[in-house]
């Protein structure tokens, strides 16, 4: 694997005599796997030279992947100057963290509005594909990429890239969660330990090292870390090489040299084996499969890409804090981007509230009257039946206390916010916690005899035919009988569900992977989902979180005569409901009538 630094500076470009050796351009790193997959990490001003080099290499058309950590200027300013984007025939995939309310594409387009720049995003000649990311894993060519949120005032992702038996982690613009210490005495804990695990056993870690611990107190909240923290994290998890990165614009070459010397001293003190250097513009590293490769333990199954229909505004945050000013700041932070806020003063009401509504996050504080926060955490985590067992719980503290926080972590606290903090700071952290559980819903398994089932459905000739009264009368009856706004005759095709008859729904089909009916055809019984928000299979299904806002569903399977369900007669509501035995029987009875129509030759009814 080949790594080349095109920009190593943080915050603002700093060309000049004082930065000749380490470089003045802002963040941009080129990475290539041995099979030729091209990845560009961040698109700061260094990307201009990289673009020129790629174009003059003569490769045409050019295919590449651009991974953006976040959209602060120093990471995207080279984007409008990256020449490969101007040439038609070139194809670029651009990845970055999914913002709240704003897509990656919109963020990039923002800096190219005509008052800032003469060419707009849509004038670029290359074909661009945008991918909004959350935490998870994705494949980029032959490179496996894992993402993890960093601690920064804008939503920021770190990237762990694995290919050719080599691991590189790109982790810049990250502030320690706990106050960074000068030395390496105490082990990292909580979220800082999680961050270190993200770097574990890497051959190369490119890490934010903008400040020294002595400078840090004045820079708290700016979202950057200290050399000491970067070294500590890297040494603690056996990183082989650590590239100090995102050099402060105030630091000249000699000052960067001193940083490197201090870092090497720390490694020696800790008896670590990590080789430390400061990333320099133009520097090229060739990384080969190391003999001591260990696979990364933390394998993540979930995909890092988000569903574009994912709607955060329906996500709820439960806020239970005693201090009015803390409550005000957090309340504003939650509602700013449209997350739903539920406040509770009486902590003892929390257990029943989380049974009645699905929350994405709980913000708690000690000191609520007659309420033991830790006892609550323990009982929630220990209850195997609780749907929200894994719900993130964040505790607001007025000071750090490693011993107490250790006990809190054992009780099930996910993370901490240390008061005082700004609303902006709280907002970014809240987004990261909420986005972390972005995709919980599951698409249905395929029936065992899927091929024959599809063959029968296609041979029936009913798919994509015009609406017919003989079906519509049943959806009309079902809607009235069960007093629901939505009733459908749905047929589950290879990758879609198509509606032969629909009441209360505009779309004539939806993707199969989000279809309730795809679950319902797995059995010959009526399937009822009394409350989709309380059902793990559907809680954040886009049909639940967005239009048509399905909360209740009941579907009776329809077959073509051989007993294999091909679709359903189903009803749905925006409210939670529960049909009793008698009603479920009626739905089943009605479905038998629809089934009779389905089994008739459709051409006989064309008129």
* Part in contact with Zn ion (CB under 5 A); list of ranges 65-73, 386-394, 472-480, 583-591: 65-73
Sheet holding 340-343, edge to edge: 340-343, 316-320, 361-365, 393-397, 415-418
Calpha distance 74→10 (Å, rounded): 7
- Which tokens is 165 given? 């038996």
Distances (CA, A) of 4 to 28, 141, 208, 265, 406: 9, 19, 17, 26, 41
Which residue number, 106 or 464, has a Cβ lying nearer to Zn ion? 106
Which residue number, 170 or 538, has a Cβ lying nearer to Zn ion? 170
- Which tokens is 68 given? 């953006």
Which residue number, 30 or 173, has a Cβ lying nearer to Zn ion? 173
Give the shortest CB-71-to-Zn ion separation in angstroms: 9
**Beta pairing class for 28-32 and 204-208:** unpaired
Judged by CB under 5 A, does residue 493 bind Zn ion? Answer: no
SS3 544: helix
Which residue number, 12 or 91, has a Cβ lying nearer to Zn ion? 12
Backbone angles phi, psi at 43, to 5 degrees: -130, 50
Give the shortest CB-475-to-Zn ion separation in angstroms: 53
Distances (CA, A) of 477 to 473, 484, 487, 551: 6, 10, 9, 21
Calpha distance 437→361 (Å, rounded): 10
Which residue number, 159 or 482, has a Cβ lying nearer to Zn ion? 159
Structure-token match 């004539």, residue found:
508
Q: Let me know the angle formed at the C-alpha of 412 by 407 and 414, rounded to the nearest 5 degrees.
A: 100
Cis peptide before 420 (omega within 30 of 0): yes
Residues numbered 10 to 49 that lie near Zn ion (CB under 5 A) are 10
Judged by CB under 5 A, does residue 72 bind Zn ion? Answer: yes
* Part in contact with Zn ion (CB under 5 A); list of ranges 66-74, 136-144, 264-272, 535-543: 66-74
Judged by CB under 5 A, does residue 74 bind Zn ion? Answer: yes
User: How many Å separate Cα 435 from the centre of its chain?
Assistant: 5
Give the shortest CB-424-to-Zn ion separation in angstroms: 13
* Part in contact with Zn ion (CB under 5 A); list of ranges 9-17, 322-330, 362-370, 510-518: 9-17
Residues numbered 512 to 531 that lie near Zn ion (CB under 5 A) are none
Judged by CB under 5 A, does residue 160 bind Zn ion? Answer: no
Give the shortest CB-195-to-Zn ion separation in angstroms: 16
Residues numbered 164 to 203 that lie near Zn ion (CB under 5 A) are 173
Judged by CB under 5 A, does residue 248 bind Zn ion? Answer: no
Q: What is the CA radius of gyration of the chain?
A: 28
* Part in contact with Zn ion (CB under 5 A); list of ranges 2-10, 267-275, 365-373, 376-384: 2-10
Which residue number, 110 or 182, has a Cβ lying nearer to Zn ion? 110
Which residue number, 205 or 368, has a Cβ lying nearer to Zn ion? 205
- CB-based closest residue to Zn ion: 72
Give the shortest CB-74-to-Zn ion separation in angstroms: 4
Dihedral of CA atoms 323, 328, 334, 337 in degrees, nearest 10, equals -170
Give the shortest CB-594-to-Zn ion separation in angstroms: 57
Q: Determine contact, residues 202/192, Cβ cutoff 8 Å.
A: no
Applying CB under 5 A, the residues found at the interface with Zn ion are 10, 72, 74, 173
């Amino acid at each position: 694997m080949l790594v080349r630094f095109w920009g190593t500076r943080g915050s603002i470009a700093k060309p000049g005599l004082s930065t000749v050796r380490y470089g003045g351009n802002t963040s941009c790193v080129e990475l290539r796997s041995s099979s030729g997959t091209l990845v560009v990490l961040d698109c700061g001003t260094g990307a201009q030279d990289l673009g020129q080099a790629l174009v003059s290499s003569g490769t045409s058309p050019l295919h590449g992947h651009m991974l953006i950590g976040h959209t602060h200027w120093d990471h995207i300013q080279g984007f409008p100057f990256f020449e490969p984007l101007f040439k038609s025939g070139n194809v670029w995939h651009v990845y970055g963290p999914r913002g709240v309310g704003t897509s990656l594409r919109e963020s990039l387009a923002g800096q190219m509005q005509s008052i800032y720049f003469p060419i707009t995003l849509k004038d670029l000649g290359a074909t661009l594909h945008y991918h909004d990311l959350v935490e998870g894993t994705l494949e980029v060519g032959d490179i496996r990429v894992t993402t993890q949120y960093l601690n920064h005032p804008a939503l920021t992702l770190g990237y762990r890239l694995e290919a050719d038996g080599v691991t590189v982690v790109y982790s810049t613009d990250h502030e320690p969660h706990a106050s960074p210490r000068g030395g390496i005495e105490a082990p990292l804990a909580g979220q800082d330990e999680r961050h270190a695990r993200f770097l574990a056993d890497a051959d190369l870690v490119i890490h934010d090292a903008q400040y020294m611990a002595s400078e840090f107190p004045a820079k708290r909240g700016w979202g950057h870390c200290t050399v000491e923290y970067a070294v500590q994290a890297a040494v603690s998890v056996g990183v082989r090489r650590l590239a100090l990165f995102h050099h402060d614009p105030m630091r000249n070459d000699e000052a960067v040299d001193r940083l490197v010397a201090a870092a090497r001293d720390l490694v020696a003190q800790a008896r670590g084996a990590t080789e430390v250097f400061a990333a320099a513009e133009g520097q090229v590293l060739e990384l080969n499969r190391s003999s001591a490769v260990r696979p990364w333990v933390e394998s993540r199954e979930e995909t890092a890409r988000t569903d574009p229909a994912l709607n955060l505004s329906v996500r709820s945050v439960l806020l239970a804090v005693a201090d009015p000013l803390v409550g005000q700041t957090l309340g504003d932070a939650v509602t700013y981007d449209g997350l739903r806020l539920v406040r509770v003063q009486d902590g003892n009401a929390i257990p029943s509230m989380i049974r009645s509504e699905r929350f994405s996050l709980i913000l708690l504080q000690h000191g609520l009257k007659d309420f033991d926060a830790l006892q609550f955490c323990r009982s929630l985590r220990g209850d195997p039946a609780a749907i929200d067992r894994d719900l993130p719980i964040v505790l607001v503290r007025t000071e750090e206390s490693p011993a107490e926080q250790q006990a809190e972590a054992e009780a099930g606290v996910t993370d901490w916010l240390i008061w005082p903090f700004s609303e902006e700071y709280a907002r970014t952290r809240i987004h990261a916690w909420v986005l972390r559980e972005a995709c919980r819903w599951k698409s249905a398994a395929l029936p065992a005899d899927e091929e024959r089932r599809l063959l029968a459905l296609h041979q029936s000739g009913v798919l994509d035919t015009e609406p017919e009264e003989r079906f519509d009368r049943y959806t009309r009856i079902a809607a009235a009988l069960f007093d629901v706004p939505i009733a459908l005759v749905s047929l589950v095709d290879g990758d879609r569900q198509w509606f032969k008859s629909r009441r209360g729904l505009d779309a004539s089909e939806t993707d199969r992977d989000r279809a309730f009916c795809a679950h319902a055809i797995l059995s010959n019984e009526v399937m009822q989902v009394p409350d989709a928000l309380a059902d793990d299979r559907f809680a954040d299904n886009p049909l639940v979180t967005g239009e048509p806002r399905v909360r209740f569903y009941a579907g009776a399977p329809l077959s073509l005569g051989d007993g294999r369900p091909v679709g359903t007669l189903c009803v749905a509501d925006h409210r939670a409901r529960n049909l009793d035995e008698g009603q479920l029987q009626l739905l089943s009875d009605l479905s038998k009538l629809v089934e009779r129509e389905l089994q008739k030759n459709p051409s006989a009814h064309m008129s």
